[in-house]
Amino acid sequence: MKHIETIKEMQSLALNWKRSGITIALVPTMGALHEGHLSLIRSACQAVQLHGKVVVSIYVNPIQFAPNEDYSKYPRTLQNDLRLCQEAGADAVFTPSNEVMYPSGNEDSNAPLRYSTFVSEEVLSKTMEGISRPAHFRGVTTVVNKLFNIILPDYAIFGEKDFQQATIIRRMVRDLNIPTQIIVSPIVRESDGLALSSRNRYLSPDERTQALCLSKALKMVQEKVSIQSFPAKELKEEIRVMIEKQPDAKIDYIEFFDPESLVPVVEVNTGTRMALAVYIGKTRLIDNAIL
Amino acid sequence: MKHIETIKEMQSLALNWKRSGITIALVPTMGALHEGHLSLIRSACQAVQLHGKVVVSIYVNPIQFAPNEDYSKYPRTLQNDLRLCQEAGADAVFTPSNEVMYPSGNEDSNAPLRYSTFVSEEVLSKTMEGISRPAHFRGVTTVVNKLFNIILPDYAIFGEKDFQQATIIRRMVRDLNIPTQIIVSPIVRESDGLALSSRNRYLSPDERTQALCLSKALKMVQEKVSIQSFPAKELKEEIRVMIEKQPDAKIDYIEFFDPESLVPVVEVNTGTRMALAVYIGKTRLIDNAIL
């Protein structure tokens, strides 16, 4: 497995693969890899089969974090990540630096000029995560666009846990005619229901127990809606009461929506998607499910 | 020469070329082709040499026109354009429709959802044309990004007449790591100095004569600056007086700036770039030169 740190080397490798007719799959990550990421890498291996190449990118993208968010404390576990990628069957791991991804420019006229190009999705990005984190998705679509141009993937694999992100990426790919097929891979959960996330390691043992309220809320609604439809308002209130029983839980949003347009629904049915974001102490967790 | 009207067909042709190791050059145009465009097509033929492929796109991109601009009356001369492309040695001409480029979406849930992804350059786009035409460059960078993803060019050729546009495209390519080399091809002029433009055909014979004030202003400043430097303010005033002698001329902007950063200079030297936009009657013309 190759470990590549420069855009130039990664892009020329990808171009050579492309010109030789080799299929490429990309798994974009921010590192701190867990079983959820490994399932994405396995999906990538399946997509490209025996003769294709799988690239994992590990990059904590600064422009998708707001100043008050956890960019600087986001877990970085590179040596372990590299070992996991190798074991999972990746052919290359790409770990660019910030300066190579976003040239900062400076007063010296010989330096490269400051980074100034952004990609934004302007409808789907306005709800849910986009309300709580206004610049987040612009950062995501920009960096994913860059990674696609560098790695030239035929397939890119995203996790269903970030459902809104995956939906926005699919819209971007359609709108910008990017020649990449997006594969959305199911959420991986602990045996007790907690969705895997690199941020779970922020949780104290007590918070870890309280964090189960997200997956329990999804399960409760799934069971109710499997029998009959309910007004979204009524379900939200029921979930609010349930989650607020946890002493350290603070709801950011609970939403019921059409899975393609992300438009909220008034009456919740099977086929509606539900998503929620909840702070457990200082840690913001998200989860979602199809009902 | 192939004439292709769908994204799907164009992209699968380009992908096949790419996977066979064939070099591709793109000349993006809005049609109404003239000798300036033909020189771009010849540059493209040179860039890819004997075994590469040259694609000309012809598309009057609605999102780069403001509602008060000339989108609907922009000249459309497709049959003549196709003949010129063939004569100049293009391998394919791509003429997509608006509905395929920007799905409009509608109430019918089976219809594709509305187009919503945009690419913007946020520094270089703020001066000159960006002031007069605020949404213009966002439209340009978005459509060029789409065309690059559809046609996968190793080379793309842009005309120097739209100097700010070419600079923004080069910045976008650098920032988004697009694997395409940008070639900027010199301005082609009539024998009396008028820069070729599809918009020249809007001019009456009298306006056509008055329009020479743009290239004459450039020439005058080139001659002055070849001897000594001048304050930008002084030169602007001199040009203003000269241009306003034309009864139907109205200056939009005159600017002296660094050719990479587009930052205005106070003192004009050799190596400074000059650009100007002038209305001649209802027709807005632009021109520029290195001093």
The mean of the pLDDT values for chain B is 95
ipTM tops the 0.90 cut? yes
The confidence score (pLDDT) of residue A113 equals: 79
Name the residue ranges covered by the structural domains of chain B. Answer: 2-185, 198-290
Give CA–CA dist A289/A275, Å, rounded.
7
* Residue B130 pLDDT > 70: yes
Which among A22, A207, A50, A84 is positioned nearest to B20, based on CA atoms? A22
With contact defined as beta carbons under 8 Å apart, do A1 and A92 qualify? yes
The confidence score (pLDDT) of residue B106 equals: 63
Give how far A179 is from chain B: nearest CA, Å.
Answer: 7
**Which of A113, A122, A124 is opposite residue B261, by nearest beta carbon?**
A113
Active site annotation includes A37: yes
pLDDT digits (tens, 9 = 90+) for A134-153: 999 999 999 999 999 999 99
**Which of B11, B116, B146 is opposite residue A124, by nearest beta carbon?**
B116
The confidence score (pLDDT) of residue A110 equals: 59
Measured CA angle at A95 (ends A41, A166), to 5 deg: 50
pLDDT digits (tens, 9 = 90+) for A147-203: 999 999 999 999 999 999 999 999 999 999 999 999 999 999 999 999 999 999 999
Q: What residue type is A46 in one-letter code?
A: Q
**Active site positions of B, annotated:** 37
CATH number for A2-185: choose from 3.40.1710.10, 3.40.50.1820, 3.40.50.1100, 3.40.50.620.
3.40.50.620
A119 contacts B118? CB cut-off 8 A: yes
The confidence score (pLDDT) of residue B168 equals: 98
Mean pLDDT calculated for residue range B165-178: 98
* Residue A95 pLDDT > 70: yes
Give CA–CA dist B210/B127, Å, rounded.
26
Q: Which of residues 206-225 of A touch B (CB under 8 A)?
A: none
Give CA–CA dist A13/A20, Å, rounded.
11
* Residue B277 pLDDT > 80: yes
Q: For chain A, give the percent of residues with pLDDT over 90.
A: 95
Strand (E) or helix (H) holding A274: strand A273-280
pLDDT digits (tens, 9 = 90+) for B236-270: 999 999 999 999 999 999 999 999 999 999 999 99
Question: Which residue of B146, B177, B265 is the best one to mutate when testing the A interface, meaning the one whose CB has the most A CBs within 10 A?
Answer: B177
The confidence score (pLDDT) of residue A109 equals: 57
The confidence score (pLDDT) of residue A75 equals: 94
With contact defined as beta carbons under 8 Å apart, do B146 and B172 qualify? no
Q: Which fold has domain B198-290?
A: Pantoate--beta-alanine Ligase; Chain: A,domain 2 (3.30.1300)
Mean pLDDT calculated for residue range A243-248: 97
